[in-house]
Structures are given as structure tokens and as C-alpha cells.
Structure 1
């Protein structure tokens, strides 16, 4: 039922597995309560904003979670080693999304299966990477929230504060691809 909708819940929408990214409850002065949801199709990565009234329901998707290790990128697919079956499984770059740009090889990830097919990957929420290239900070550029682009050792690009220099290690939120903090080892 709609009242049970939660962020992260896996449901079937038009026969395809989807994940709820957000759920908002609104109760107007008159009429029925409305739940506004943002749902991502786990097969093609598309997101949809859908409104449901109280009393509506969706079928839950039978998703199996497994642990795996990211092995390598072969040019089109990301290849993972399933820790339970010890099989290599691949998933296209479009389905994996931009978050894989921040994941180094041999990183543990969650694998999502639906009907025996790999349909999604859950990388670690945060990852620490080294900055391999960034422009030096301009002298006198001390205004608040000044950012610049930085390339990390696995090739991804992230916006960082002006004080970050080449060689610094930074923590990145893999879900949004944003800088969190500088890490001092």
C-alpha cells in the first residue's frame, strides 16, 4: 500500500523492477492524501515522478542482493565478480550510471539480481581517492564556496574547494558525485 512506501523500496512498475528514490506525503485541506514519488527503473536507469492516492498499491519486486567485487571496465560493460557464485557478471555503463567513475578496481559493491539477471550495482556510499590533477588556487581567491574541477586517480571529475591541491586525498559521495571532505592520513 501507498502508506508503506519508503525510500529504497523495490517495486514492480509496468512489470519492470524499480527503486523508490524519494517519497513525499501531502495532505491537502480537502480531498485525499497524495504521495509524490520519484522512481528509477532498474533496467534502463530512467526516473519517473508519479503521484499516488491513498489506497493505491504497487507489487513489490523480488530483488536478490549479493556481494561482489568490481573487477574492471571492458569499454562498454563494468565487470563484477559475484562473491557467492564466483561468476563474472557484467552490467552496461548506462545502467551503472556516473557513480562508477569514482569506484577503483577491487572495490566491494552490492549486486542486485532480478529473475536471475544482474540489474544493478550499489557501490560504497563514500570513497577516498587521490586528486591527480587540479588547477592551483588563485591568490586572493578567498571568497566563500569557491570551487574548481579536480580529476581523481580513477578518472572521475569532481568539484572541490579552492584549497584542495594535487596529491590530496578526498572523500567523495558516490551517489551524488560530490566532494565531502579532505582526508589527512
Structure 2
């Protein structure tokens, strides 16, 4: 057990049957009252973010989260199949659990799969990922207003806004948290 005073960003706890990851905490101590701890937490099963309030000294149950690097093997229709590269064990994760992540994953890529005991919670992607542009609108000459952008489609099928100089076949860097263009890879 851990005390509520010891909560830190990144910790995982089990509270009222829910599995949470702590995003941020704040403590409020007044002269005549007990310390109040407010924790902004993310439900690791649903993805929703809520704020929990604890009194200083409350006992909380830590949750041991296991992370394993796995290879994205193939799309099996309703699920995505991943393989542990060390044990060659394969698991299936329903597509409904990976809607956002599928925009940035391509076959044979390595991702971090998150487990709690034997339950698969989801996939952690790197903050930025490189993907090829498969379709890009032509740039209109003279359309050079500040930060002018055009539509493009990535190899995963994800639509993104990119600067006018990006062309089909180029590799762009995409931020996986908001799905926005973050730069382009330089040619080697």
C-alpha cells in the first residue's frame, strides 16, 4: 500500500475497482484541516480523465503495469495480431481498443503493449513517428500565405495537413498525441 501523500505523476493505482494512471497531483494544506490531495488521473481501461480527491494519509493500492515491446504482425479483421519478439507468443487486441493508434501503426512496426496482470490495456506509441506520404494535393502557385497547408494521406490511410512543399513519396514525422505534422525526415 502507498499513502496518498506519495502519489506522483506516472504512478498506477487501483481505486474502487478502476485502474488509473496518475497524470498530475496537487496538495492543499490549511492550518486547521487535514491535507487534501487532488489527483488528475486517466482510467487505463476507458481512457477517460477524471480528478480524484484524497485526504492526506489515505492508503491506496499500487497497480503493477507490465509493458512489453511487440511486433504488429497483421490485421485479422476484427482484431490486430501482435507478437512478442522474445517468446514468439501472439496476442490479439480488438480494433475497437486501438482506433486512434491504428492511424500511426504499420505492419512489422514495434510498439509497446501495456498489460495489467493478464489483461491487455492497450498500446503505447512513441511520441513521434515517421510515415510515408502516399497522396498529396498539388501546391497552388502563389498560395504562399503564412503557414499555408494542404491535405495529404499517409501510408496508414490517415489524413493530415502538411506544408505545401511536401510531396508524394516523402517521409514526414507525425505527432501521435494530436495527429499533426511535426517535420519531415531529411534524405540520407
Q: TM-score range by the shorter chain?
A: 0.7 to 0.9
Query: Within 5 A, what are the aligned runs for 1:103-142?
Result: 103-142=105-144
Task: Determine the C-alpha separation between the residues in 2 that align with 1:2 and 1:57.
Answer: 6
Structure 2 counterpart SS, 1:91:
strand
Task: Determine the C-alpha separation between the residues in 1 that align with 2:109 and 2:163.
Answer: 26
Task: Determine the C-alpha separation between the residues in 1 that align with 2:29 and 2:149.
Answer: 41
Task: Determine the C-alpha separation between the residues in 2 that align with 1:117 and 1:36.
Answer: 24
Task: Determine the C-alpha separation between the residues in 2 that align with 1:103 and 1:9.
Answer: 26
**1:92 matched to which residue of 2?**
94
Task: Determine the C-alpha separation between the residues in 2 that align with 1:153 and 1:67.
Answer: 22
Q: How many residues align?
A: 182
Distance apart, 1:50 and its partner CA: 1.1
Q: Does 1:40 align with 2:43?
A: yes
**1:50 matched to which residue of 2?**
51
Task: Determine the C-alpha separation between the residues in 2 that align with 1:162 and 1:33.
Answer: 51
User: Could you say if the C-alpha distance between residues 16 and 33 of structure 1 is closer, same or farther in structure 2, counting changes exceeding 3 Å?
Assistant: closer
Could you list the runs of 5+ residues in structure 2 that have no partner in the other structure?
A: none
Query: Are the aligned partners of 2:44 and 2:121 in contact in 1 as well (CA < 8 Å)?
Result: no
**1:172 matched to which residue of 2?**
174
Structure 2 counterpart SS, 1:58:
strand
Structure 2 counterpart SS, 1:95:
helix
Cα root mean square deviation, aligned: 2.5
Task: Determine the C-alpha separation between the residues in 2 that align with 1:97 and 1:18.
Answer: 20
Query: Are the aligned partners of 1:67 and 1:84 in contact in 2 as well (CA < 8 Å)?
Result: no
TM-score, scaled to structure 2: 0.81
TM-score, scaled to structure 1: 0.82
Task: Determine the C-alpha separation between the residues in 2 that align with 1:176 and 1:57.
Answer: 35
Please tell me whether Structure 1 or Structure 2 has the larger radius of gyration of its CA atoms: 2
Larger mean CA deviation between 72-81 and 1-10 belongs to 1-10
